[in-house]
Amino acid sequence: MHKESVNGRCPRVIAAGPTRAAVPHVVLVERRRSDFWLLAALAVLWVVAGLTGHEPWKPDEAYTFGLVQHIRQTGDVLVPTLTGQPFLEKPPLYFATAALFQRIFEGWLTAHDAARLATGLYLGLTLWWLWLAERELRGRGALPFAPLLLIGTIGLFEVSHRLQTDIALLSGFSMALYALALARRAPRRGGSLLGGAIAVTFLSKGLLGPGLIALSSLVLVLLTDWHQWLKKSVWAWALGFALPVCLLWPVALYRHSPTLFDDWFWLNNLGRFAGTAALGPKHEPWFYTKTLPWFAFPLLPLAAFGLYRMRWDPSSEDKIWVALPAVFAGVTLAVLACAHDARAIYALPLLPPLALLGSVGVGRLEAQIARRLNDACRFTFGLAALLLWLGWLVLFTRYPSFLAVPLLAQAPGYVEPLRVGALAWAGMVSVGWILVQGRIGGAAHAVAWNWAAGMTLIWCLCVSLWMPLVDYTKSYRQPFLELKQELASTACVGSRGLGESERAMLSYYAGVVTRREETVADPRCDVLLVQSRAGEVATAAPGWQLVWSGRRPGERQESFQLFRRVHAPLD
């Protein structure tokens, strides 16, 4: 291997032969020690920002936190339970991890902030496995494009820092990509890590993860040259590690209750996929066709550009390693398109392979196009940061009124506090972004750095400047603390239409677990809590009186009404 000078400054690495992993026929800028530390600092900043400092939000955070609370209070990791009722939608790996963080940081952080650190752990592991996968495929001298591109993905901007089991699934997919890449030269270690990845995805979200990994591996072996490296020993080691771990929880669940096992296996796995369970959001026509262009931006256009350039470049040497992420992305998209349920967050497993493919596109950008993209990144993120600062100033000063009034109308009663620490942090991040521009430069590989740094800047400003306002509108704290006062000394509370998230938050803030009319109504309850949607009129049977109503500040889609039974006077 030898180095050649590029513009007299940055050396590039050219492979002398395919003794380890085929190095792409692109300019691979040599990774300097400072590049690693810059990536590490950027990754830590992106992962840590926003993990703490806000209440559990609807929809996923609220009910996930309720499941975490059950494990923390009872120590039972076998049956995920939400306010006393089994909730078998997902296995307990993420919930148990979050409960462990609660125990570790008890007394230091609030229960929900401590639980959310589990998301930070799995986010960090996702970037770590992805970096190792790219290094294994492209060579140790290549800059880490894939983690940078993943950090800058729009689909991760909001959901990545929440209490979310899908983040653990994302980590498992990155681990699987690295395991298969490693198996080319180290079958035993690669197979063992592949088994670990299968276990992580299974215990995070059930059969979907292992099914996608197995199907992608099968297609990879049958349709590409990877059958030369993925020998039987790889699969033997993978199954040897995966089966004992994967079978432990389902077998224990079946022995505990065959009915609950059937609920998990048939209803929440196969039933959701086939649509026979009548659970979850239905798959709209062309849902992922409409969702991925923004959710997977900029990975999708960079991946398409890289594959296009590689297709017309007869001297390409990276078609073999590109097959790994391409097959994973293609199979995952095909399976998601066939599923009955569909949400944008279900596309998270697509992002790691698309990030690896996107690195192909970054490496093939022409100098003139790269300069324009770098200038566009600086202008776009600089302007966005300026608008976030000006918007916060309007929010704090309430001037000019024609901007402040419609803004505050979304959060009635909100008063922006003066938070000196948050402002200082936002200022430091803004100045740091300006200073790092000189370090990044304007070369083709700088596009990935610019985009990741810009998205991290915007995320940090949103967290430091705008988090209190968002938390004020998304949190259930205010209405449920009011409700707690109304329910003082009430032993039995019935409920109608109360969702999973609302049940979890009512238990957390008010310490109330209702008797749901949808399951087993309790005629002894003299109080009834009703959750109604927009356009609905909450009513109760004769003999009940409305004593309280409330909603989250600025909420227009749902509200809560509390009825109390009126006893007939004695004769």
Question: What average pLDDT score do residues 100-129 get?
Answer: 97
pLDDT, averaged across the chain: 87
Find the angle CA(437)-CA(442)-CA(447) to the nearest 5 degrees.
85
For 240-263, letters b (16+ CB in 10 Å) and e give ebbeebbeebbeebeeeeeebbeb
Give the model confidence (pLDDT) of 26-63 as tens digits.
444 445 566 778 888 999 999 999 999 999 998 889 99
Q: Give CA–CA dist 335/271, Å, rounded.
A: 15
Give the model confidence (pLDDT) of 260-281 as tens digits.
999 999 988 888 887 776 666 6
136 is written with which tokens?
């294994």
**Tokens 């979310």 sit on residue:** 164
pLDDT recorded at residue 446: 86
pTM: 0.91
Q: Give CA–CA dist 172/208, Å, rounded.
A: 12
- Beta strand 10-14 with 81-82 is unpaired
pLDDT recorded at residue 14: 38
Q: Is pLDDT larger for residue 191 or for residue 437? A: 191
Cα 520–chain centre separation? 35
29-38, 156-165, 390-399, range with the lowest pLDDT:
29-38
**DSSP string over 66-111:** HHHHHHHHH---SS-EETTEE-TTS-SHHHHHHHHHHHHTBTTB-H
- Beta strand 544-550 with 493-496 is unpaired
**DSSP string over 497-521:** S--HHHHHHHHHHH----EETTT--
Find the angle CA(144)-CA(147)-CA(152) to the nearest 5 degrees.
125
Q: Is the pLDDT of residue 8 over 70?
A: no
Give, in order, the Cα–Cα distances in Å from 241 to each of 96, 192, 203, 210, 237: 20, 6, 14, 13, 6
Q: Give CA–CA dist 428/424, Å, rounded.
A: 6
4-8, 356-360, 372-376, 461-465, range with the lowest pLDDT:
4-8
Contact 370, 442 (CB under 8 A): yes
Q: Give CA–CA dist 234/21, Å, rounded.
A: 17
Closest by CA position to 66, among listed 498, 527, 553: 498
Confidence class of residue 441 from pLDDT cuts 50, 70 and 90?
low
Give the model confidence (pLDDT) of 469-483 as tens digits.
999 999 999 999 999
Q: What's the farthest any 2 CA atoms get from each other in the chain?
A: 102
Q: Is the pLDDT of residue 16 over 50?
A: no
